[in-house]
Structure 1
């Protein structure tokens, strides 16, 4: 397929080929939406939307504006879910860890009709935080300090428990959708915002020879704001992005599951079963990642067989019907279910790697002492291991949450009562 635009020198922005009819809306710094929201900076982007920091010139507050592609239906799913949650009168503590919808509007742009969700401003996702730590911004431990991690895991379980109590599944529980909350920035001037988040960095968007995108494209693209100083973070988290949410009684087909394979429950690879129990598995994977700083399962090539094999390494042989129907097992075991070796004297692909050992290795490969550009440390000190008592409680929790049979797993309500979460 021919390109509409010349490639950029940065890879931290949205797919620029998405600037076309039915795609992203072209946004420029200083633009005003709905007669009141002035764009100051970009917060991030995804496959379906761009998100911007805006100043409400009427209410004198800052908000995040999520502007969805014109052709996307995920926004209607997210909007319906957030509106339903907003209408619920509840003092459930989990409600406070789900992003609120402050306003909603639609507007017509050169690429079509766009939905715009106005929400509270939050800090970085834990995924971005951990990735930035691992790529030069701060070296050392790649994980939150133990006390902050415990708060984050408890609050995330509370948020998912609230959703499940309302017969709603989030549908996309990943580290990317767990954000650190910010202290209020509403008293910052616009100049202070740019001073603390960095002046927006832009790069001109140039049409490829022979193409004429016209008004479909912005004059330039904007890189996301810099990581705020950790002193502006609270120790609370926020669950966001409900574009894959679904009612418990109306789950998606397995082929329509939007969650990355490394967070998917095993039954979703073999059966038409997506349920709160599947989400409990995903939640357990995220909780491990928060505490460890690394994912429980990793897919280098993005395939399900890598993930299934890692599950087998950790837990042992799949349930009978799943094992016999898993075509990919021939890449890892022989006809007698013995681990294959890639070549002589190399560890077998299917070697055991139990949870106990994984937990014991947390903190064992830290690099140089972490520096996060702040006098406030939110990261675990270098080489800090999980204490033995917590390691045992963590293992017991994960073994209960990651049972093969969905009906045997800890429910999210049971997770809340487990000592590793309850404290």
Structure 2
């Protein structure tokens, strides 16, 4: 999955584009095995579709263009074909041409990129930070950060898990610390980041090559992030070393 995500980003960036909305909601498997199943075989696995009519609470007619029924998303908890299936990156609604960045980028709180907190600009490298977050989620089945509405708390987690802010961002970070109602003092006695410790304590050995990839992608300064093709090279090199 990580390799396919990075290959997709490599292609998008080489075409002069930015996806702009890398998240779990915009990823899917092609499910080629399922395409050969009959309708009855599919329902045996997924269950019968749950359908409800769409109605307004005030009883007024639906506007044109709205569906009349809603179908609940199917759950497939025992699906085990991810190693054999092709991966798809979906939804280009936030995509933009490199050099033609929009003024605002819609972002889920847990996946906000740091430059949109500390600066007024961003570029295609937002995809790289978000890819690092997603690869982390592939390994640990959760995003690296939680967000409860305060940028200060989000940045505090970023610093603990990734690295310290660059010098040019330090004044703003100190200001954020002072105005926060929480204690955002960083521990100074730890020689490893929380990311490194979590990989050492929770990660299976076959996933360990992903640590330097995540570290390279999730850098505060966009210019310091490794490109998708370099991330693929790191993954290939560390994976080869692991197999020796």
The verdict on a shared fold, with TM-score over 0.5 as the criterion, is: yes
More strand by share: 1
Q: Gaps spanning 5+ residues in structure 2: where? A: 240-244
Match of 1:235, SS state, is coil
| Residue aligning to 1:304 | 151
2:192 equivalent to 1:356: no
Q: Distance in 2 between matches of 1:291 and 1:307?
A: 21
| Residue aligning to 1:180 | 29
Q: Structure 1 residue 205: deviation in Å?
A: 4.2
**Would you say the 8 A contact 1:167–1:248 is kept in 2?**
yes
Match of 2:135, SS state, is helix
Q: Structure 1 residue 156: deviation in Å?
A: 0.7
Q: Structure 1 residue 246: deviation in Å?
A: 0.8
Task: Note closer, same or farther for the CA distance 1:316–1:240 as it changes in structure 2 (3 Å cut).
Answer: closer
Match of 1:230, SS state, is coil
Describe the superposition over 1:56-88 as per-residue Cα deviations: whole angstroms up to 9, x where unpaired.
xxxxxxxxxxxxxxxxxxxxxxxxxxxxxxxxx
Q: Structure 1 residue 286: deviation in Å?
A: 1.0
2:139 equivalent to 1:323: no
RMSD of aligned alpha carbons: 3.0
Paired residues for 1:190-339 under 5 Å: 190-209=39-58, 211-213=59-61, 220-227=69-76, 230=79, 234-253=84-103, 256-299=104-147, 301-326=148-173, 327-330=175-178
Paired residues for 1:25-104 under 5 Å: none
Q: Structure 1 residue 165: deviation in Å?
A: 0.6
| Residue aligning to 2:233 | 417
Describe the superposition over 1:18-47 as per-residue Cα deviations: whole angstroms up to 9, x where unpaired.
xxxxxxxxxxxxxxxxxxxxxxxxxxxxxx
TM-score under structure 1 length normalisation:
0.49
Q: Distance in 2 between matches of 1:186 and 1:249?
A: 40
Q: Structure 1 residue 187: deviation in Å?
A: 4.1
Q: Gaps spanning 5+ residues in structure 1: where? A: 1-151, 334-338, 341-347, 363-384
Describe the superposition over 1:307-354 as per-residue Cα deviations: whole angstroms up to 9, x where unpaired.
211112224532233221244322569xxxxx93xxxxxxx7644653
**Would you say the 8 A contact 1:196–1:229 is kept in 2?**
no
Match of 2:85, SS state, is strand
Q: Distance in 2 between matches of 1:316 and 1:160?
A: 24
Task: Note closer, same or farther for the CA distance 1:230–1:262 as it changes in structure 2 (3 Å cut).
Answer: same
Paired residues for 1:10-29 under 5 Å: none
Match of 1:418, SS state, is helix
Match of 2:86, SS state, is strand
Describe the superposition over 1:336-377 as per-residue Cα deviations: whole angstroms up to 9, x where unpaired.
xxx93xxxxxxx764465321122342xxxxxxxxxxxxxxx
Describe the superposition over 1:182-213 as per-residue Cα deviations: whole angstroms up to 9, x where unpaired.
0244444434443333212123445435x422
More helix by share: 2
Q: Distance in 1 between matches of 2:32 and 2:15?
A: 29
Describe the superposition over 1:166-196 as per-residue Cα deviations: whole angstroms up to 9, x where unpaired.
0111100112222123024444443444333
Instruction: Give the number of equivalent residue pairs.
Output: 232
Q: Which has the higher contact order (CA 8 A, sep 6+)?
A: 2
